């Protein structure tokens, strides 16, 4: 049944969306968007190194993204202007990665696949990796859920409860590297951060609890990946960018609904007072 490439692609997309949802929410809550970017962009360096060393792309990306994420974590909170520093690191990682890839002969044609993803080429082996990665991330975040939330609200509040905010940050860092590694095939390094942030941001107006936001983000993410896949098939457009475009359209619609709802609430409350 997994012989159909469209089915494999759809499953891969849903797997990545499920892993990205809880993590994406934390990226939004903790204002780590640029952090996600830097980690994702470093993945191209991982691709180059794996090709040079003839190792598995997945492993290379995982290691390099993890190193990048740890480096950024270490540098944060040491008096650097974080957005500047992350901007430098995100784009340098991308540039160095692209330069490194050019040293590897014969992959120039494949570069687009790494930058924008190649979901239609997902094989059974990739599917196993994606499923494993998604399960790992969901288990990690689920296990640390309460501590992560407390540390996100306030570091000292967490410490007073015996939680180490640094250790929780490490859980997120590790999960981020795993998501980058599994999402590479689906949307590519340039658009991974979008898959993290957009569904979470679109879900925000409709949720009263963090758990609800993760759930809604997962639904929006899964709908965007499967919908984008179909749209790309009909329109003959690149799949990764189509998926992200669809997610962006959903985000705009959600924002419009939210704005309309607020207007209505304000109008009805001014009716009452007048």
Partner 1 sequence: MPLLSIDDLRVVLGGQTILEGIDLQLECGEIVTLVGPNGSGKSTLLRTIIGALTPAGGRLVRRPGLTIGYVPQRLAIDPTLPMTVTRFLNLPRRRSGEAVQQALAQAGVPELSSHQLMSLSGGQRQRVLLARALLEKPDLLLLDEATQGLDHRGTADFYRQIERVRRETGCAILMVSHELHVVMRTSDRVICLDRHVCCQGTPERVLASPAYQALFGPDTADALAFYRHEHLRERDTASPALAQVGAAHSMGASA
What ranges in the chain are assigned the alpha helix state H?
A: 5-29, 33-53, 57-75, 82-103, 111-116, 124-143, 145-153, 155-160, 165-187, 192-203, 210-235, 239-273
Rounded CA-CA distance 150/156 in Å is 9
Binding to partner 1 in span 201-260, by CB under 8 A:
201, 204, 207-210, 212-213
Q: Is residue 153 at the binding interface for partner 1, with CB under 8 A as the rule?
A: yes
| Of the candidate residues 159, 170, 219, 249, the single one contacting partner 1 (CB under 8 A) | 159
Binding mask 160-199 for partner 1 (x = CB under 8 A): xxxx------------------------------------
> Residue 204 or 227: which CB sits closer to partner 1?
204
28 binds partner 1 (CB under 8 A): yes
Rounded to the nearest whole angstrom, what is the least distance from the CB of residue 162 to partner 1 in the complex? 8
Work out whether 156 is an interface residue with partner 1 (CB under 8 A).
yes
CB of 177 to partner 1, least distance (A): 23
Least separation in angstroms between residue 155's CB and partner 1 is 8
Q: Does 31 bind partner 1 (CB under 8 A)?
A: yes
5-38 b/e (C-beta count within 10 Å ≥ 16 → b): eeebbbbbbbbbbbbbbbbbbbbbbeebbbbbbb
Q: How far is C-alpha 207 from the geometric centre of its chain's CA atoms?
A: 20
269 contacts partner 1 (rule: CB under 8 A): no
For 123: left if phi > 0, alpha if psi spans -120 to 50, otherwise beta; the answer is beta
Provide the sign of the torsion angle of the four alpha carbons 204, 205, 208, 213, taken in this order. negative
Site of interaction with partner 1 (CB under 8 A): 28-31, 146-147, 149-150, 152-163, 200-201, 204, 207-210, 212-213
């Amino acid at each position: 049944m997994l012989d159909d490439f469209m089915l494999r692609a759809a499953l891969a997309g849903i797997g990545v969306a499920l892993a990205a949802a809880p993590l994406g929410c934390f990226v939004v809550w903790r204002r780590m968007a640029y952090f996600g970017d830097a980690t994702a962009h470093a993945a191209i360096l991982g691709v180059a190194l794996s090709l040079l060393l003839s190792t598995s792309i997945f492993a290379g990306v995982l290691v390099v993204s993890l190193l990048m994420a740890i480096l950024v974590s270490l540098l944060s909170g040491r008096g650097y202007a974080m957005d500047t520093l992350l901007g430098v690191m995100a784009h340098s990682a991308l540039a160095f990665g692209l330069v490194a890839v050019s040293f590897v002969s014969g992959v120039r044609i494949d570069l687009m696949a790494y930058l924008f993803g190649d979901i239609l080429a997902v094989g059974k082996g990739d599917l196993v990796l994606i499923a494993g990665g998604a399960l790992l991330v969901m288990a990690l975040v689920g296990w640390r859920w309460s501590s992560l939330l407390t540390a996100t609200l306030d570091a000292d509040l967490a410490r007073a409860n015996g939680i180490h905010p640094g250790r929780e940050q490490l859980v997120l860092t590790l999960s981020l590297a795993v998501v980058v590694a599994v999402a590479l095939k689906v949307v590519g390094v340039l658009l991974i951060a979008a898959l993290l942030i957009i569904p979470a941001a679109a879900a925000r107006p409709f949720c009263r609890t963090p758990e609800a936001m993760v759930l809604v983000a997962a639904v929006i993410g899964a709908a965007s990946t499967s919908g984008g896949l179909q749209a790309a098939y009909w329109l003959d457009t690149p799949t990764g960018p189509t998926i992200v475009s669809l997610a962006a359209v959903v985000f705009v619609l959600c924002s419009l609904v939210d704005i309309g709802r607020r207007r209505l609430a304000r109008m009805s409350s001014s009716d009452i007072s007048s």
